[in-house]
Amino acid sequence: MAYGLITSLHSMTGRKIVAQHEYNYRLLDEGMSKLEKMFIYHQKEEIYAHSAKQIKYLNDSVEDYLTYLNGRFSNMILGHNGDGINEVKDARIDNTGYGHKTLQDRLYHDYSTLDAFTKKVEKAVDEHYKEYRATEYRFEPKEQEPEFITDLSPYTNAVMQSFWVDPRTKIIYMTQARPGNH
């Protein structure tokens, strides 16, 4: 984006270089004023500046938390004066034996723990996926030992990755994946 600043200033001192500097300063001042006005408008007047998905709340976005709350209210348990009260009280205890103040607190704790674990697993899978795909579909006969398909033995801890049939001798060769990539 061009702002119209003079970047190749006159080489000699005098009125021309001073005028070029003044022109640049005026452009910078006008640009900063526009930016400041836009920022103030965004802060104080703009009504729908962000969506709930863009705003962070606790470990999630406001959108995720509102979805959770709406689901909570939609499925609210209404107890009665019988055995239901004890069942609801018992439901406040989590799997570790910790008693939460409300059932909602316990469920949200379980949800947060599961969500954090899921994100951790997804991150680990994403980090190793490229390596997995490279190993899964490699066929490097020079670096892997060919064996007759009939030589597969129960004492060899290997998985056949790919095979090749020699059209001249009709012998079937295979490559295999072993621990340590050999």
Whether the per-residue pLDDT at 35 is higher than 90: the answer is yes
Angle, in degrees to the nearest 10, between helices 62-74 and 103-136 = 130
- Going by C-beta distance under 8 Å and a sequence separation of 6 or more, which residues neighbour residue 23? 6
Edge-to-edge strands, sheet with 159-165? 147-148, 172-177, 159-165
Q: Confirm whether 68 is domain-assigned.
A: yes
Q: Confirm whether 130 is domain-assigned.
A: yes
Average pLDDT (95-114) is 86
Residues of the chain with pLDDT > 70, as a percent, come to: 67
- pLDDT at site 151: 54
Q: pLDDT by residue (tens digit) across 48-66?
A: 888 889 989 888 889 988 8
Average pLDDT for the chain:
76
Average pLDDT (86-109) is 80
- Going by C-beta distance under 8 Å and a sequence separation of 6 or more, which residues neighbour residue 104? 72
Same domain, 42 and 84: no
Number of domains in the chain: 3
Q: How many CB atoms lie within 10 A of CB 158?
A: 16
Q: How many CB atoms lie within 10 A of CB 144?
A: 19
Q: Confirm whether 89 is domain-assigned.
A: yes
Q: Which domain holds residue 29?
A: 1-49
Q: Confirm whether 35 is domain-assigned.
A: yes
Average pLDDT (175-180) is 62
Instruction: Look at residue 176 and give its three-state secondary structure.
Output: strand
- pLDDT at site 120: 92
- pLDDT at site 79: 54
Whether the per-residue pLDDT at 39 is higher than 90: the answer is yes
Secondary element (H or E) of residue 89: helix 84-90
Nearest 5 degrees, angle CA 124-CA 138-CA 159? 80
Same domain, 43 and 17: yes
Whether the per-residue pLDDT at 173 is higher than 50: the answer is yes
Instruction: Using DSSP bridges, classify how beta strands 159-165 and 172-177 pair: parallel, antiparallel or unpaired.
Output: antiparallel
Same domain, 118 and 57: yes
- pLDDT at site 104: 86
Lowest mean pLDDT among 34-38, 43-47, 138-142, 174-178: 138-142
Q: Confirm whether 86 is domain-assigned.
A: yes
